[in-house]
Amino acid sequence: MNCEPGETVGAFLCQAGQVLRAAAIDSPRLEARLLLGHAMGVTAEALLRDPRAPVPPAAAARFGQALRARLAHVPMAYILGRQGFWTLDLAVSPATLIPRPDSESLVEAALAAFPDAAAPLRVLDFGTGTGCLLLAVLAERPAAFGIGVDLSPAAAALAAGNARSNGLAGRAAFLAGDWAAALAGRFDLVLSNPPYIESAAIAGLMPEVARHEPAGALDGGADGLMAYRALAGALPGLLAPGGVAVLELGQGQRLAVEALAVAAGLVPLGCRSDLGGVERALSLGIPGSSKK
């Protein structure tokens, strides 16, 4: 399809769609609208109302920069600086993994474990990243308080900003640290989406992930289980009586992670699959401890 020349919305969208399609970018027309809408400060839907509207020079420059980034396989969420998760609108940056719908299965498992919306839960989130897991639970459990921990100070700062922008700052605190090293006390709910990809497999991931998302949040060591070993050792000292830990799993990791948990004195409580049917959210407890 030939594109009409000019500096209009329609011309920019047509040309960008063709370039993105040639680069094998999924959904090129949608992505073109998202990028141009971002550059012009309007919604993607608003662009379609007047395709003959002019694109101001400053917006055209921003669009060109964003398009070049996308052609270099920078994830769309990093370009836009935002990502939706659960009911939240979250800031994202290259310091954090991009929240994914698969991880919402952890939120579902956590809420199912504590169905009382008024429960004054103490929640801990290891490897908090954007804070998506912790903040989603706090949004659904208004009497809960949570702490998010991340190795990256930039990630912890971003998560704190997300707590503020979503009206949850009064019930959330974020720390930069190494797992449980700086923590004392026990928690009703522990959440974690740890790094779980085998080191040798990272280079073969889609370029948006392999080249741009933080390696420290992806690399689970030679067998992908390094972080789970640390978690299994820490959880018995962190879970309160009746407490539950919910861990995100990579595909095919359930049995191996359950074995590590059992060896550390924990009890598997079940595993929730994501929308793609992958066993994704493993729940663990303490033997002989009746959950609230």
Closest residue by Cα to residue 75 from 167, 205, 174: 205
| Residue 123 maps to a domain | yes
Average pLDDT over residues 233-256: 96
**178 band by pLDDT with thresholds 50, 70 and 90:** confident
For residues 204 and 210, is the Cβ–Cβ distance under 8 A? yes
| CA–CA distance, 158 with 43 (Å, rounded to integer) | 24
Question: What is the pairing mode between strands 82-85 and 88-91?
Answer: antiparallel
| Residue 189 maps to a domain | yes
Same domain, yes or no: 146 and 250 = yes
Domain span holding position 65: 9-72
Distances (CA, A) of 112 to 189, 239, 283: 12, 17, 11
DSSP 94-129: TTSPPP-GGGHHHHHHHHHH---TT---EEEEET-T
| Residue 87 maps to a domain | no
Q: Considering the chain, what percentage of its residues have pLDDT values greater than 70?
A: 97
Distances (CA, A) of 73 to 24, 36, 37, 78, 262: 10, 17, 19, 10, 41
Q: What is the pLDDT of residues 13-63, one digit of tens each?
A: 999 999 999 999 989 999 999 999 999 999 888 888 888 899 999 999 999
Q: Considering the chain, what percentage of its residues have pLDDT values greater than 90?
A: 87
Same domain, yes or no: 55 and 106 = no
Cα R_g (the chain), whole angstroms: 21
Place of tokens 């004195």: 265
Q: What is the pLDDT of residues 227-236, one digit of tens each?
A: 999 999 999 9
For residues 268 and 261, is the Cβ–Cβ distance under 8 A? yes
| CA–CA distance, 269 with 79 (Å, rounded to integer) | 39
| Residue 264 maps to a domain | yes
DSSP 3-state percent helix, strand, coil across the chain (nearest 5):
40, 20, 40
| Residue 130 maps to a domain | yes
| CA–CA distance, 65 with 280 (Å, rounded to integer) | 36
| Mean pLDDT (the chain, rounded) | 93
Instruction: Give residue 50's pLDDT.
Output: 86
Decide which of 241 and 44 is more confident.
241
Q: What is the pLDDT of residues 21-35, one digit of tens each?
A: 999 998 999 999 999
Same domain, yes or no: 60 and 99 = no
Same domain, yes or no: 274 and 150 = yes
Edge-to-edge order in the sheet of strand 172-176: 172-176, 145-150, 122-126, 187-192, 239-248, 279-285, 267-273
**1 band by pLDDT with thresholds 50, 70 and 90:** low
Question: Residue 225 above 60 pLDDT?
Answer: yes
CATH number for the domain spanning 139: value is 3.40.50.150
**Would you call 242 helix, strand, or coil by DSSP?**
strand
Question: What is the pairing mode between strands 187-192 and 239-248?
Answer: parallel
| CA–CA distance, 76 with 72 (Å, rounded to integer) | 11
| Residue 1 maps to a domain | no
pTM: 0.92
| Residue 52 maps to a domain | yes
Average pLDDT over residues 205-218: 92
Domain count, the chain: 2
